[in-house]
Amino acid sequence: MIYMDGRTPNFVTIDGVSAAGSILHNAYNACPDLCMCTSTGSCYVVIPTTTSKNPEIVMYPHCDTNGVCFFAAFISTPGAMKPYDNVGQSYTDVLQYDTNGARLPITDPSYVRVASVSCKGCPITIE
């Protein structure tokens, strides 16, 4: 059995070994109505691109120094996520890099801290 113990690096590894998985928005109709929500109830959808490829979202498990664990959603291909209700901040792949082109630490607020994921749209109802 493999499980995540939270001891992942503060920076995303190039090889992607620490990633829990990725979601290609609407790839092969596998997840046609992707929704990702935070623990506070803010939910985000992927903004489709104008190209044939939509953004790939990688779920990166991490626990901060206070022991709070989460999945950070990093956008590994060009694209963006926006609030499903159009209220609040949008997240883009560009904002997840510093001015020198290096990826920001996973604890940076440029990553959505995902608590739940659905392929059936927003908001997510957990019963």
Give the pLDDT confidence score for residue 3 in this predicted structure: 43
For residue 121, which amino acid is it? G
Burial of 77 (0-12, 13-18, 19+ CB in 10 A): middle
Q: What is the pLDDT along the chain (127 residues), one digit of tens a residue?
A: 344 455 566 656 555 555 555 555 555 556 778 899 998 889 999 887 666 667 788 888 888 778 888 888 988 888 899 999 988 899 999 999 999 998 898 889 999 999 998 888 898 876 6
Model's pTM, two decimal places? 0.77
Q: Which residues contact 39 (CB under 8 A, 6 or more apart)?
A: 70, 113, 115
